[in-house]
Amino acid sequence: MKFFSVQSKLLAFFFIIILSLLAIDILIQYNNNYLVSLVNETFETINTINITKKDISSLNSNLQRYLISGDSDSMLSVYGSLNSIDEKLSALESKILTKEEYLYYTNLITIFEYLSKLTERLVIYKKGNLPLSKTYSEYIDFSNFLNLYLEKFSEQKIKFTMEIHHKAQRQLNTIRKINNLVILIWTLFASLLSIIFSNTFTTPIINLSKVANKIAHGNLETQLPEYSANDEVAVLYQSFSNMISNIKDMVKKLEEKADLERMYAQQKIEAIKYRQALQEAELKNLQAQINPHFLFNTLNTILQIAMFENAKQTYEILLRTSNYLRYVVHNITRVVKLEEEIENVKNYMFIYRMRFGDRIKLEIDVENETKLLLMPCMILQPLVENAIIHGFKESEYGTIKILAKKNEDMVIIEVSDNGKGIEKETLEDLKNFSFEHNKTTGIGINNIAKRLSYFYNIESPLYIDSNSEGGTTVTIKVPFITDISKLPKQEVNNI
């Protein structure tokens, strides 16, 4: 019985060594895999940046050729280059890992959007035989700026990768030192145990330990040496023989159990892969239904056709529609400025007036300082649309006013109308956000209030006041924040 206790300790000691070394090896392998993945992603990003630079060069060449020749093929090549750059920049967004990279990416998008406007302006000027030199000079400057910020984005990505690489290398060196120390400690401890056992047991026990050592290394077919004496050692031999049989049975059962678990794990993996395949199919189906780039490219093509046909009104409404859709699709989860929200409302009202005439007037009174306020996307337009649909449902004419003013460290935004007003019971439901019936953009009052509350980390950012005899005012009161780094942490992390 005493020998079995020693054997158990030996087996435990052996498995502890293996598990310790295995754990350290897994940790090293994990760090290596992470480094390889990070480097590969960096190479992909740099490759995308290089391709984008080539697209910028192609854009410059195509635009220069168009400004010289004025032919339609050159103009289509110009817009093709713009679309290609837009796709590459969109692909870079998924590669962002740090706040610095995000800031560079934001600058890239801003520069590219302005470069696109300059390109469209040059095309219009060329069409109308207007002076091009000043605008073209500004275009060249912003083209250079775009290349410059692409270089900065690439340098930041390489810098971040090198920092992570150095940090991981230091960790690996520490792990290797610990690994060597563990090996040394286990080696010394094993040597000490060997000396103790060799000095304590007699020759039969030494022979038995050799057999035990072979068994501990996985050789279960080892035969015990013969021992004819009828004493305690014989009992020990017999007990050890029984133990070998038990180990063989246990190993066999463990192998059978491992096979079953492996089979079950494989089945689970196949099931997971199947679910992933279904999800990917659903995602591709949704993407096939609505492809923003395809939509915008199509609208741009129609815009050019309208230009060629000198259909100014058609061109204007298509341009406003394109800007409105681009704003909604590209910015729905992004941080925008108040002036961008105001511009989106103007686009929406222009489209509305083209459909229904000038029966609804829009008045905007916004202090210049408040235009820089950072806020979630799609806040004002749904309020304006609600006012039109619900406030002027039974009226032919009306006015909607948007007011924004700064009050100490807060900004107050009011969207008011002189429509029919809201009934008292419905108003109470709206104030409690228990009424979510909305047939406009799909963004209701409750949704707007929740997003504002989460964005600014405040309670009750939105108030509704209405007179059943006529007139409704929605008031938004939020902190005046113009620096993205001062936004609440949870929102910045979602950018």
Q: Kindly list the domain boundaries of the chain, sorted by start residue.
A: 2-200, 203-286, 360-492
Across 447-454, average pLDDT: 85
> pTM for the whole thing?
0.41
What is the dotted CATH code of the domain comprising 360-492?
A: 3.30.565.10
Query: Which whole number is the average pLDDT over 347-369?
Result: 89
Give mean pLDDT, residues 390-413.
90
Q: What does the alpha-carbon distance between residue 344 and residue 5 come to, in Å, rounded to a whole number?
A: 79
Quote the pLDDT of residue 1. Answer: 42
pLDDT for res 414: 96
CATH of 2-200, one of 1.20.120.1730, 1.10.3720.10, 3.40.50.20, 3.40.50.300: 1.20.120.1730
Residue 336 has pLDDT above 60, yes or no: yes
Please count the other Cβ atoms lying within 10 Å of the Cβ belonging to residue 409: 8
**Between residues 58 and 432, which one has the greater pLDDT?**
58
Query: What pLDDT sits at residue 362?
Result: 93
Asked if 368 and 355 count as a contact pair (C-beta separation under 8 A), the reply is no
- pLDDT of 197 over the 60 cut: no
> Is residue 384 within 8 Å of 350, Cβ to Cβ?
no
CA distance 198 to 206: 7
Chain centroid offset of residue 73 CA: 38
- What strand order describes the sheet that includes 398-407? 360-366, 398-407, 410-417, 472-479, 462-466
Q: Distance between alpha carbon 408 and the CA centroid of its chain, in Å?
A: 35
The pLDDT of 277-304, averaged and rounded, is: 53
Closest residue by Cα to residue 322 from 291, 307, 349, 300 = 300
Mean predicted confidence (pLDDT) in 211-239: 69
Residue 111 near residue 146, CB atoms below 8 Å:
yes
Q: Which residue has the higher pLDDT, 229 or 216?
A: 216
Count of alpha carbons within 13 angstroms of residue 387, beta-carbon side: 31
Alpha-carbon distances of 373 from 102, 323, 369, 411, 449, rounded to whole Å: 19, 21, 8, 8, 17
Lowest mean pLDDT among 19-33, 80-94, 376-390, 471-485: 19-33
pLDDT band at 232 (very low <50, low <70, confident <90, very high): low
Q: What is the pLDDT of residue 101?
A: 80
More confidently predicted of 66 and 292: 66
Distance (Å, whole) CA 150 – CA 3: 71
Secondary structure (3-state) at 181: helix
pLDDT of 369 above 70: yes
CB-based contact 456:406 (threshold 8 Å): no
Q: Which residues contact 444 (CB under 8 A, 6 or more apart)?
A: 382, 436, 437, 438
pLDDT at 292: 58
Weakest-pLDDT range from 28-32, 284-288, 367-371, 457-461: 284-288
Query: In the structure, what pLDDT confidence band is assigned to residue 367 with cuts at 50, 70 and 90?
Result: very high
What is the residue type of 490?
Q
Strands (E), 208-259: none
User: Hey, what's the torsion of the CAs at 116, 122, 127, 128, to 10 degrees?
Assistant: 130
For residue range 158-192, list pLDDT tens digits in order: 877 787 777 777 777 787 778 788 788 878 877 77
Percent of the chain with pLDDT over 70: 77
For residue 370, the model assigns a pLDDT of: 95
pLDDT at residue number 438: 47
Would you place residue 217 in the very low, low, confident or very high pLDDT band (cuts 50, 70, 90)?
Answer: confident
Confirm if 351 and 343 have CB atoms less than 8 A apart.
no
Sequence-separated (6 or more) residues with CB below 8 Å from residue 431: 463, 464
pLDDT at residue 63 above 70? yes
pLDDT above 90 for 476:
yes
Residue type, 282: E
Neighbours of 209 (CB within 10 A): 19
> Which structure tokens are listed for 471?
């007139």
Predicted local confidence at residue 275, as pLDDT:
53
Residue 212 pLDDT exceeds 50: yes
Amino acid at 30: Y
Burial of 422 (0-12, 13-18, 19+ CB in 10 A): buried
Cα 349–Cα 353–Cα 385 angle in degrees, nearest 5: 40
* β-bridge pairing 360-366 and 410-417: unpaired
DSSP letter (8 states) at residue 441: S
Query: What is the arithmetic mean of pLDDT over 387-395?
Result: 83
Using the predicted structure, report yes or no on whether residue 297 has a pLDDT greater than 70: no
Mean of the per-residue pLDDT values for the chain? 77
Residue 342: pLDDT band (50, 70, 90) is very high
**Bigger pLDDT: 46 vs 221:** 46
Residue 166, both tokens: 């150095």
Are the C-beta atoms of 112 and 81 separated by less than 8 Å? Answer: no
Angle, vertex CA 405, rays to CA 400 and CA 406, nearest 5: 160
| Across 153-162, 192-201, 361-370, least confident range | 192-201
pLDDT of residue 407: 93
The per-residue pLDDT for 5 is 44
Res. 326: pLDDT tops 50: yes
Highest mean pLDDT among 95-104, 162-171, 242-251, 459-468: 459-468
Q: What is the rounded average pLDDT of the residues 409-417?
A: 95
Segment 228-251 shows an average pLDDT of 71
Task: List the single range of 42-51, 162-171, 277-286, 439-448 with lowest mean pLDDT.
Answer: 277-286
Q: Examine the pLDDT at 41 and tell me if it is beyond 80.
A: no
